[in-house]
Structure 1
Amino acid sequence: MRYQLPTRLQAAILDWAGTVVDFGSFAPTRIFVEAFASVGIEVSLEEARGPMGIGKRDHIRTLCNQSAITERFQHRFGRPSNDTDVNEIYKRFMPLQIAKVGEYSTLIPGALNTITELRQAGLKIGSTSGYPKEVMEKLASQAAAAGFSPDCIVASDEVPKGRPSPAQALANVIALGLDDVAACVKVDDTPPGILEGRSAGMWTVALRFSGNFLGLTWNEYSALSSDRLSSERERIDKLFVPSNPHYIIDTIAELPPIITDINERLTRGESPAQH
């Protein structure tokens, strides 16, 4: 047998918060702030956004290891943060996240239309998230009531290693019965999510404005001037450079033309590895 590159995409694997739901990706960040506050440590929303995209326990560990936050632990408890602190904050984070994730389950404008177009083009819809399974079950139920039900969901704690590892994306490939990773496109608003797709050998599309890097609500985003949008595009595009996405667009509403372009590139014999 001889390897042949696929000529069309078979699936889009979508992130959740900041990609399909929760414009501005507020659910995880605000709850990180609350969870740290519950043990007496102040963390700003901006600090909480820093490691976004990785699994939530790893996110908490990364925050605890930052020098400024370690100093706050030293000041309050007379010692640096440690794994016990990570476990305690995660224990407090989980019930808060489960209780409140539904408040941030609103679909991003244009998401449903885009997903309908992708399905009409013959694509299956997979998904991955930095949320653990227990949180995803509640979020998925809320999203389904609003009309979004992907064919596959892989949470961060359902694989041995979460983002930026390719495990969650590859679990979608297996579950969806896909023929080739080059027939998949990973869509995400964070560098770890783009690296997840990259390391899985997929096409990747980064989202500028609906997620963590802009960090605004839909109404705040809609009110931005053209000059501000231009400067934010330039700033955010630079932040995505190290993860090397194949495409960068504003929101998921702009995805269908990208799917068409990738299909044309596959037809010409191009692969995601060539970018």
Structure 2
Amino acid sequence: MKNIEAIILDWAGTVVDYGSVAPTTIFVEAFKQAYDFEISLAEARIPMGMGKWDHIATLGKLESVASRWHSQFGRAMSDSDIDHIYQTFMPLQKAKVADRAMPIPGALEVINRLKQQNIKVGSCSGYPRQVMEVLVSAAADYGYQPDHWIASDDLKAGSRPGPWMALENVNALGIKKVANCIKIDDSAPGIEEGLNAGMWTIGLALSGNAVGLTEQEWQACSAEQKQQLTRQAYQSLYSAGAHFVVDSLADIETVLMEIDAKLSRGERP
């Protein structure tokens, strides 16, 4: 590949943590511990990919959650409520994230092959820096070390779905053309981040939030269930604006070659 300079990778559900399990389960637990308030895993997944404070705030505005919150407390969720849930969330997430740092099957092999072609590997996450420091260290023990990483609370401008984390990777890695970068993510806000940054985007349908099952849970599904979940996941990521959607990071190389050919013809995202 002659044109692609870098891939910008999400973390949970993209490179590590098959099913993006670590963040969702902790949101449920944080709401329960902070206020004895119940949210479902399905609700917790809806804003996935956003920075975690914004994620909690968005959950509080979901019609189903807002209605139950008002019934339980007689008022809307406030910023101080969000702060309290966030502070409850943080130590729980730090404890959990290292347990889900194992790379998704095929991810490291693809990343290493791309590095051999002098393609740089940037990364960003909805996790705040406190959590990322734990995850980066744990993932390194498995052999995953991107060329750069950035957390959701590192930039004053904000995080997803804005372009700032993706563009900070461009700056840190010394990329010459933003259009020569591909943002790869398993969530809608992550895809929007790449689009807002002016990058090509690839959605990952089966390994992360779009399906939301561990590898073992996925394998236990019937053929019919897999077909339905796959169709829904592809539709969700294409609806978010992804230029391409594949099953997992292990499947991106053919798409990268297609993007490289488009760049050779002068096409842009």
Per the normalisation by structure 2, the TM-score is 0.95
Alpha-carbon distance in 1 for matches of 2:6, 2:138: 23
Please name the residue that 1:27 is paired with. Answer: 22
Please name the residue that 1:231 is paired with. Answer: 228
Counterpart residue identity of residue 36, structure 1: F
Q: Which segments of 5 or more consecutive residues in structure 1 lack a partner in the other structure?
A: 1-5
Q: 1:69-113 CA distances to partner (integer Å, 9 max, x unpaired)?
A: 223322332322111111110011111111211111111000110
Residue 7 of structure 1: how far off its partner (Å) = 5.5
Q: How many residues align?
A: 267
Alpha-carbon distance in 1 for matches of 2:200, 2:216: 30
Map 1:19-98 to 2 at 5 A: 19-38=14-33, 39-98=35-94
Pair 1:12 & 2:7 matched: yes
Pair 1:140 & 2:120 matched: no
Residues 7 and 266 of structure 1 are in contact (CA less than 8 Å); yes or no, is this contact kept in structure 2? Answer: no
Structure 1 ranges of 4+ moved more than 6 A: none
Of 118, 123, 130 in structure 2, the residue corresponding to residue 127 of structure 1 is: 123
Does 233-242 or 249-258 show the bigger shift? 233-242
Please name the residue that 1:3 is paired with. Answer: none
Residues 7 and 269 of structure 1 are in contact (CA less than 8 Å); yes or no, is this contact kept in structure 2? Answer: no
Residue 120 of structure 1: how far off its partner (Å) = 1.5
Please name the residue that 1:253 is paired with. Answer: 250
Counterpart residue identity of residue 234, structure 2: D
Alpha-carbon distance in 2 for matches of 1:268, 1:228: 40
Cα RMSD, aligned residues only: 1.4
Alpha-carbon distance in 2 for matches of 1:9, 1:256: 12
Alpha-carbon distance in 1 for matches of 2:234, 2:146: 28
Please name the residue that 2:179 is paired with. Answer: 182
Residue 225 of structure 1: how far off its partner (Å) = 4.0
Counterpart residue identity of residue 125, structure 1: V
Counterpart residue identity of residue 107, structure 2: A
Per the normalisation by structure 1, the TM-score is 0.93
Q: 1:162-191 CA distances to partner (integer Å, 9 max, x unpaired)?
A: 101000000000000010101100000011
Q: Which segments of 5 or more consecutive residues in structure 2 lack a partner in the other structure?
A: none
Residue 149 of structure 1: how far off its partner (Å) = 0.3
Please name the residue that 1:193 is paired with. Answer: 190
Relative to 1, partners in 2 of residues 1:77 and 1:230: Cα closer, same or farther, differing over 3 Å? closer
Pair 1:212 & 2:209 matched: yes
Does 241-250 or 18-27 show the bigger shift? 241-250
